[in-house]
Amino acid sequence: MRIEILGTPFNGLGRPPHWENPADGLRHAQLVRRLASTGHSVTDRGDLAGFRFQGVRDPQTGIRDYRSWVALSQCLSEKVGDMIDREAFVLLLGGDCSMLVGILAAFANKQTPVGLVFLDGHADFHSPETSPTGDPADMELAVLTGRGPHEITHVAGKYPLLEEKNVVVYGIRARDGIDRSPIRVYDRQQMAERGIHAVVTEGLDRFTRNGLPLWLHFDVDVIDPQLMPVMYPEPEGLTVAETSTFLQLVNAGGRTVGMSIACYHPDLDLDGSAGVRLVNLIADVLISRA
């Protein structure tokens, strides 16, 4: 399989990429070499550049770095669209979950329906009014499904960017207002009680029946913070083994067209062990598609 990698090292914390670059952190953990060793053809296209998030709230919308988020989403949509056209498996290294708007805008601009499998410790379903920080990564799932300022919800040629019926959320411990939506949710407790295989099979049933391609979004804070240092830890997350099982089950059908990795912080990974765990997880998920 041909894999194209793109870094999107931006976040609502206002940290510029030269201070902390999560994409480079995973590169230093030998991601490219590890993927290539499994038989994939891997092209690293570097990082999306030219954007500066400063952590300042926009006075009109209440969203931090709102104009930068819109511009980043438009640029990322073009880049991802080109990768889709080359029929590559798209692997995006963030940054934070706000990159999902640009990713899904690429599919919307191509009039290509897609299902989103959203694995995260937080539902990211705040509004600008309910978010304590105004961080885009507090609210990107709400924006994707049509809730939010006009310019970002209409960033592509389709509104909403994603229909609620085409989203399934897994692993959350913080609900962030998602209960006001009909989106299917399997929180951490349900995954533990029912088993990962059961909730994946049930949650993806509609996608399977309709033959939808899938985008897999993996925020690493879904993993227990004792195993994965993150900026906003929620206790009692998934183990590494559970995460691996989940990712492999989602990918097993061969309909996953891309994957985004969010919220890895090299500055918090003092000995580099968390980065190595992530690289191994990613490689193990994709090895069956070599």
Three-state SS annotation for 102-141: HHHHHHHHCCCCCEEEEECCECCCCCCCCCCCCCHHHCHH
**Alpha helices (H) along the chain:** 22-28, 31-37, 66-85, 100-109, 140-144, 150-153, 188-194, 196-203, 205-210, 240-251, 273-286
Three-state secondary-structure class, residue 157: coil
pLDDT reading at 48 higher than 70: yes
pLDDT reading at 15 higher than 90: no
Q: Please state, in angstroms and rounded to a whole number, the distance separating the CA atoms of residues 218 and 225.
A: 15
pLDDT score for 18: 54
Give residue 104's domain range: 2-289
Dihedral sign for Cα atoms in the order 68, 43, 221, 263 = negative
Question: Residues 99-114: what's their mean pLDDT?
Answer: 96
| CATH assignment at residue 14 | 3.40.800.10
Number of domains forming the structure of the chain: 1
pLDDT score for 12: 67
Average pLDDT score over the chain = 93
- Do 125 and 174 meet the contact criterion of CB atoms below 8 Å apart? no
User: pLDDT tens for residues 107-120?
Assistant: 999 999 999 999 99
pLDDT-based confidence at residue 16 (cuts at 50, 70, 90): low
Of 184, 258, 269, the C-alpha closest to 215 is 258
Highest mean pLDDT among 94-98, 132-136, 174-178, 263-267: 174-178
pLDDT score for 234: 93
Taking the model in full, what pTM does it have? Answer: 0.96
| Cross-strand bridge partners of residue 115 | 214
pLDDT score for 142: 98
pLDDT-based confidence at residue 194 (cuts at 50, 70, 90): very high
Three-state secondary-structure class, residue 115: strand
